């Protein structure tokens, strides 16, 4: 049977054993056997002195322990009362915590509360309040343009009045199309170049600038498979695919009709557009096939790609898309599916020669779908209806319509992220919050270093290397430093021209964003390039930069607040921090990832953890998926253990702890309650790749591996969350 982790036990009073033995040894000392009165008096005096000293020490220790580990009262701040209300509203206290702590913490009436989604929405509401509060901004500044763009987005009356007019103007700039008017046939590559560079639409392939797959600090143009409007999959049933195409055909007919096309002609062009989509989809090679062939990506020059896929004028298209990046025919590219590009090129050559007008319609209809969020309600309603029907066909849960303010906040955040980041951090992540968050991270990091010193499956050399990696790790908290520089925001948006229509504003902002992205890759930066906005509710570890990032949007109630009891901050935010720190050591857990380790001991713990999670499939919960979620499950278990040890150490060295008002939970119980709150996620919150387990498993897996949980909630031996054996990977 696996032993319990002693580091997670409740701190106890210092042992009295050694002192009692000292007293006993003095009672039998040689001096006491001397027949002199002096010896007897001296022995009695020493015994009295030692007794008084011992009682004093015991009294002092008792007072210290009582002061340290007993509650120092209830936290009566508004933040604590709000957290108490959340706990009561989001959980189900009628459920036995020892058998289903996920429902106890997250199972409110008839649904699962989703703390992550709720916090993400609250962060957007904060941005909304910021954008609604008009202020005197410097003319031409990023703040002024961000507020102007937001107001333009919210002016639905003007957008409805403009109707399809702004979109028709765009179509005319592209040479028009034969569905609804005169068509001036532009040369194919001229149209494609305009679509890619001016309108951000990629009808035949995706291309973007990003880190080289094998050299993360080297930017390179990457060409990938296209993204289709329809959710097609290679393994999909033919019946489902046919239904998807029928719905998409109906949608394309709606678009053509809204743009004034003749219904018969629209039907013909929409059908041919579906045919082109189907043929392109058939050219795709699945990721698994490319991996098996050792061709996950290939590096070719623009010249070489031109020879293999000659229908596209690669140099012209890429030069226009990635300006001001200088390109030449010898420019290296990373291509993810070269065979697809060859087949796509042959199809395009065929269509240019035989069905040029249908090829134009295919590109225009795709563009309309891309631009629909910036159009009037008729186009948006058609898009929303298509999305809901496709989700039904692919058995995905429906998505409720977002309010207009949320759409506009998201659009403004996309195009004006540096400006909104500075405004958000100024309001939501002041110096006190940042200081408290850094203090929490330091405690978590130091605890991890301590635990690394006693992992039995690591030899001494590996332990020292692991400790060095942790101490050398960089942390970025809240937001990138550069977003708080006011002068930068004015330079960022000098090329944005807002109006006359909202669609034109969106297009100008999209072009500016693309140019900023290219410039950011061309300029060497001394710091890590963030992968998300500062108001995001997520954290991540960057392997190339060896930096861990905790955005300000994550370090908010209910996961973190400087005024919360320590139990809340350590249980929620602390566990998340520890989880991300363990990402540093993912490689060690993979086959052959730690040749110097005790392979037998490591495999024993890994197999133990796999059995531990697999056991939950028999309790009506999601079964363990070893291939997709194992590393994240391991980090969940280790993260909770590290956060708990750090919390106990902080209690020992810092006097007292508060509790939440009118809530019948001890501080240690609040610690586990706050951990579960951070894992309260509905099915819609799970990412498509399923790298994490579902919420119930993320709660029950780590808690059942933690002896202290069973002790503090008095779970009988053998219940779901108090099993007979546990694992000790971390």
Give yes or no: 395 in active site.
no
- Torsion of the alpha carbons at 38, 40, 42 and 48, rounded to the nearest 10: -150
- Concatenate the DSSP letters of all residues of 490-530 into one string: HHHTTT----SSHHHHHHHHHHHHHHHHHHHHHS--SS---
Q: Do residues 523 and 469 lie in contact, with contact meaning Cβ atoms separated by under 8 Å?
A: no
Half-sphere exposure of residue 620, counting CA atoms within 13 Å on the CB side? 5
Q: Which of 580, 605, 632, 657 is catalytic?
A: 580
Q: For residue 344, give the nearest of 456, 134, 203 by alpha carbon.
A: 203
What's the DSSP call for residue 572?
I
Task: Say which residues have a Cβ less than 8 Å from residue 368's Cβ, sequence separation at least 6.
Answer: 167, 255, 259, 375, 379
Nearest to 425 by CA among 486, 487, 478: 478
Q: Which pairing describes strands 547-551 and 474-478: parallel, antiparallel, or unpaired?
A: parallel
Among 144, 636, 657, 668, the one annotated catalytic: 636
Contact criterion met (CB below 8 Å) for 196 and 207: yes
Q: Are 616 and 633 in contact (CB under 8 A)?
A: no
Rounded (10°) angle between helices 115-132 and 667-678: 80
Q: Helix, strand, or coil here: 657? A: strand
Phi, psi at 92, each rounded to 5°? -130, 95
The CA distances from residue 629 to 603, 604, 621, 670, 687, in Å, are: 17, 18, 15, 27, 12
- DSSP element (H, E) containing 223: strand 219-224
Distance from C-alpha of 678 to C-alpha of 14, rounded to nearest angstrom: 34
CA 509/CA 53 separation, integer angstroms? 76
How far CA 284 is from CA of 118, 149, 307, 334, 369, in Å, comes to: 38, 38, 20, 17, 22
What b/e readout covers 629-644, taking b as 16+ CB neighbours within 10 angstroms? bbbbbbbbbbbbbbbb
Q: Is the peptide bond before 164 cis (omega within 30 degrees of 0)?
A: no
Contact 362, 276 (CB under 8 A): yes
Task: Determine the Cα–Cα distance for residues 345 and 342; give it in Å rounded to an integer.
Answer: 5
- Gap between the Cα atoms of 79 and 660, Å rounded: 10
Chain Cα centroid distance, residue 499: 34
- C-alpha 629/C-alpha 607 separation (Å) is 14
Helical ranges in 91-187 per DSSP H = 101-106, 115-132, 142-154, 156-162, 165-173
Beta bridge partners of 542: 547
Is 636 marked active-site? yes
Q: How many CB atoms lie within 10 A of CB 646?
A: 26
Sheet containing strand 540-542, edge to edge, reads: 474-478, 547-551, 540-542
CA-nearest of 225, 204, 243 to 362 is 204
Residues acting as catalytic residues: 580, 636
């Amino acid at each position: 049977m696996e032993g319990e982790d002693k580091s997670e036990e409740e701190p106890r009073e210092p042992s009295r054993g050694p002192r009692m033995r000292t007293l006993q040894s003095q009672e039998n000392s040689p001096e006491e056997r001397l027949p002199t009165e002096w010896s007897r008096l001296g022995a009695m005096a020493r015994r009295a002195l030692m007794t008084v000293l011992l009682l004093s020490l015991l009294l002092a220790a008792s007072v210290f322990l009582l002061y340290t580990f007993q509650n120092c009262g209830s936290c009566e701040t508004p933040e604590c009362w709000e957290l108490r209300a959340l706990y009561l509203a989001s959980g189900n206290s009628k459920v036995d915590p020892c058998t289903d702590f996920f429902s106890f913490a997250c199972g409110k009436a008839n649904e699962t509360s989703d703390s992550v989604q709720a916090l993400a929405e609250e962060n957007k509401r904060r941005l909304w309040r910021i954008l609604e509060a008009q202020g005197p901004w410097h003319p031409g500044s990023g703040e002024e343009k961000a507020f102007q763009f937001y107001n333009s987005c919210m002016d639905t009356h003007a957008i409805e009045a403009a109707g399809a007019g702004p979109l028709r103007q765009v179509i005319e700039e592209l040479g028009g199309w034969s569905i609804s008017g005169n068509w001036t046939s532009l040369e194919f590559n001229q149209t494609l170049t305009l679509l890619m560079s001016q309108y951000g639409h990629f009808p035949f392939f995706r291309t973007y600038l990003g880190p080289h797959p094998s050299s993360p600090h080297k930017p390179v143009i990457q060409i990938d498979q296209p993204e289709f409007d329809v959710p097609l999959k290679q393994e999909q049933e033919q019946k489902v695919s046919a239904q998807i195409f029928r719905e998409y055909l109906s949608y394309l007919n709606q678009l053509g009709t809204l743009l004034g096309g003749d219904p018969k002609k629209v039907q013909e062009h929409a059908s041919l557009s579906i045919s082109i989509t189907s043929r392109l989809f058939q050219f795709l090679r699945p990721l698994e096939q490319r991996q098996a062939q050792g061709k996950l990506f290939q590096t070719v020059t623009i010249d070489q790609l031109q020879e293999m896929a000659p229908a596209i004028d690669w140099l012209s298209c890429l030069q226009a898309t990635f300006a001001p990046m200088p390109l030449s025919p010898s420019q290296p590219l990373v291509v993810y599916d070269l065979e697809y590009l060859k087949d796509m090129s042959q199809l395009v050559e065929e269509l240019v020669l035989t069905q040029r007008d249908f090829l134009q319609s295919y590109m225009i209809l795709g563009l309309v779908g891309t631009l629909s969020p910036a159009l009037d309600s008729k186009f948006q309603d058609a898009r929303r209806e298509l999305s809901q029907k496709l989700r039904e066909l692919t058995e995905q849960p429906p998505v409720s319509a977002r309010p207009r303010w949320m759409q506009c906040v998201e659009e403004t955040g996309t195009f004006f992220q540096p400006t909104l980041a500075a405004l958000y951090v100024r309001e939501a992540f002041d110096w006190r919050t940042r200081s408290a968050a850094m203090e929490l991270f330091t405690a978590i990091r130091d605890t991890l270093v301590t635990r690394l010193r006693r992992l039995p499956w690591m030899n001494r050399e590996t332990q020292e290397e692991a400790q060095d990696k942790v101490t050398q790790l960089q942390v970025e908290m809240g937001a990138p430093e550069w977003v708080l520089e006011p002068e930068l925001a004015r330079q960022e948006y000098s090329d944005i021209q807002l109006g006359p229509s909202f669609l034109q504003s969106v297009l100008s902002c999209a072009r500016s964003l693309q140019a900023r992205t290219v410039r950011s890759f061309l300029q060497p930066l001394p710091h890590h390039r963030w992968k998300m906005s500062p108001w995001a509710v997520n954290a991540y570890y960057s392997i190339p930069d060896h930096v861990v990032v905790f955005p300000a949007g994550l370090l908010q109630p209910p996961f973190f607040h400087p005024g919360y009891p320590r139990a809340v901050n350590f249980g929620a935010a602390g566990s998340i921090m520890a989880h991300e720190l363990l990402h540093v050591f993912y490689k060690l857990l993979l086959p052959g990832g730690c040749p110097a380790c005790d392979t037998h001991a490591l495999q024993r713990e890994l197999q133990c953890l796999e059995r531990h999670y697999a056991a939950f499939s028999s309790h009506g919960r999601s079964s363990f998926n070893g291939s997709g979620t194992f590393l994240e499950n391991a980090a969940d278990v280790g993260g909770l253990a590290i956060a708990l040890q750090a919390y106990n150490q902080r209690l020992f060295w810092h006097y007292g702890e508060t509790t939440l008002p009118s809530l019948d939970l001890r501080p240690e119980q609040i610690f586990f309650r706050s951990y579960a709150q951070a894992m309260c996620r509905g099915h819609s919150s799970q990412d498509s790749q399923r790298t994490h387990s579902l919420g119930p498993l993320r709660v029950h897996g780590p808690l059942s591996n933690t002896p202290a949980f069973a002790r503090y909630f008095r779970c009988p031996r053998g219940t779901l969350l108090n099993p007979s054996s546990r694992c000790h990977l971390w």
